[in-house]
Amino acid sequence: MRRPHTGSKTGFSPMRWWSMVLKEFTQLKRDRLTFAMIVGIPIMQTALFGYAINTNPKHLDTAIISADSTDITRSFIAAMQNSSYFKMVGTLPNEAAGREALARGKVLFVVNIPAGFTRQLLRGERPALLIEADATDPTATGSALAAVSGIAQSVIDREIAGPLSNLHGSPAPFSVRVHQLYNPDNITQYFVVPGLTGMVLTLTMVLMTGLAITRERERGTMENLLAMPATPLEVMTGKLVPYIGIGLIQATIILLAARYVFRVPFFGNIGAVYLSALLFIAANLTVGITFSSLARNQLQAVQLGIFFFLPNIMLSGFMFPFKGMPGWAQALGNLLPLTYFLRLIRGILLKGNGWTDSWPNVWPMMVFTVVLMLVASITYRKTLD
């Protein structure tokens, strides 16, 4: 009979320990998706945090309503551009058009130069320019607005010279009034809490549906389902319905907290909020089904979910100003349903947006859902045989 060659049974055996290490490595090597995560997550995170995210966003879209175009007003616009915070993207005919562009999120700022501005300035009547800002996200607009008084001063110093010098003094020859719309008190919670609905729905819907279907396959119960008369459509849709209900409950919890704990203003129609949530839930369920047909087991379904979740936090405008990201990051963000849902729910709650203002964020989610539904049904059919 062979005797064990280690003396003590309970002590630490380097041999046993090493065999444990080797076994773990061998198993890791076999698990391709885990391997991809080991390499992929640091690369993805570095790229996103290193390049995409910017909490001091510049070159923010700005429109001009100009009823008075003179050297002085042009100088002011040029100074805004030069500050690098503002990017002039066009002119608008009137204040109503300005409000609409702000409501739809096309621009973050509208500069309104009233008629006779220069004349009043020269007469020493000390007129005011108006900058309207979409302040739903205080982080996005804050730095730019802080730069405004400096810009005005530099214009005064440069333009009010020579024969106009007598206009100097207090108060300044002209002033800039900043009008912060939608979130005038710059309360971050107004921005973050409604967005949380989207974040939570993404996480739970994708993971839960991904797991629910993979679980049937992993436990062998899928074979049993297939042997019964149920059709794939009945199985799939039947499995998904409970999760729609769960999603709506989650949305309700967050909305209640938003309303009664954080006192977020609800300007828009609450029915529209729920319709948006339903559409968003549908979009995420199709992601979950697609993952479940790609994943071979529940662990892989979770890993795919995390892969999907990371860019959603970073690139959707949930945590970091969307407009502050470089073009490639915005393009990626525009592929995610969360990006549109965040704009929708914030627009409806904080801006009181109606159907026409919301539509530009509704159809991309519909397209996303239909496309992924096709992908899911193709991949699902493969797993039957």
Partner 1 sequence: MTTVANPEYAIDVRGLNKRFGEKHVVRDVSLRVRRGEIFGFLGPNGSGKTTTIRMVCGLLKPDAGSGTCLGHDIVREREAIKRKVGYMTQRFSFWEDLSIAENLDFVARMYEIPHRKEAVRHAIDTLGLASRARQLAGTLSGGWKQRMALAACMLHQPSLLLLDEPTAGVDPRARRDFWDELQSLAAQGISVLVSTHYMDEAVRCHKLAYIAYGKLLAQGSADEVIASQRLSTWAIHGERLSALQEELRSRPGVEQTVTFGDALHVSGTDAGLLEGTVRAAAGVDGRSCEPVETSLEDVFIYLMGKTPDNSGGTA
Burial 84-98 (b: 16+ CB within 10 A, else e): ebbbbbeebeeeeeb
Nearest distance in Å: CB 384, partner 1: 9
What gap in Å lies between CA 329 and CA 119, rounded to an integer?
45
Size of residue set near partner 1 by CB under 8 A? 11
Q: Which one, 168 or 381, has the nearer CB to partner 1?
A: 381
- Establish if 381 lies at the interface with partner 1 (CB under 8 A): no
CB atoms within 10 A of CB 245: 10
Q: Which is nearer to partner 1, 235 or 362 (CB)?
A: 235
Bridge partner residues of 176 (DSSP)? 129
Q: Smaller CB distance to partner 1: residue 185 or 385?
A: 385
We find the least distance from the C-beta atom of residue 138 to partner 1, in angstroms, to be: 47
Burial class for 194, CB neighbours closer than 10 Å (0-12, 13-18, 19+): buried
Binding of partner 1 at residue 220 (CB under 8 A)? yes
| Span interacting with partner 1, options 115-123, 199-207, 220-228, 284-292, rule CB under 8 A | 220-228
The strand order across the sheet containing 175-181 reads 86-91, 60-66, 109-113, 128-134, 175-181
CB of 217 to partner 1, least distance (A): 11
Tokens 């119960």 — which residue?
Answer: 221
Position among 39, 227, 233, 249 found at the interface with partner 1 (CB under 8 A): 227
Is 226 an interacting residue with respect to partner 1 (CB under 8 A)?
yes
Closer to partner 1 at the Cβ: 15 or 233?
A: 233
Element (H, E) at 233: helix 232-260
In the complex with partner 1, the residue whose CB is nearer, 200 or 235, is: 235
Q: Does 96 bind partner 1 (CB under 8 A)?
A: no
In terms of CB distance, is 95 or 223 closer to partner 1? 223
Q: Which of 185, 79, 87 is nearest to 129 (CA)?
A: 79
Task: Kindly state the tokens that stand for 69.
Answer: 């175009």
Residue 4, interface with partner 1 (CB under 8 A)? no
Instruction: Tell me if 382 contacts partner 1 by CB under 8 A.
Output: no
Nearest distance in Å: CB 235, partner 1: 10
Fill in the per-residue mask, 229 to 258: x = in contact with partner 1 (CB under 8 A), - = not in contact: xx----------------------------
The conformation of residue 137, written as its DSSP 8-state character, comes to: S
Residue 2 DSSP label: P
Q: Which stretch binds partner 1 (CB under 8 A): 9-17, 219-227, 360-368, 373-381?
A: 219-227
Using CA atoms, how far apart are residues 9 and 296, in angstroms rounded to an integer? 39
Instruction: State the minimum distance, in angstroms, from the CB of residue 228 to partner 1.
Output: 5
The nearer residue to partner 1, 211 or 349, going by C-beta atoms, is 211
Single-letter residue type at 313: I
DSSP sequence for 324-380: GS-HHHHHHHTTSHHHHHHHHHHIIIII---HHHHHHHHHHHHHHHHHHHHHHHHHH
224 binds partner 1 (CB under 8 A): yes
CB of 232 to partner 1, least distance (A): 12
Q: Specify the residue, 241 or 374, whose C-beta has the smaller distance to partner 1.
A: 241
* 221 near partner 1, rule: CB under 8 A: yes
Q: How far apart are CA 225 and CA 254, in angstroms?
A: 36
- For binding to partner 1 (CB under 8 A), which residues are involved? 219-221, 223-224, 226-230, 385
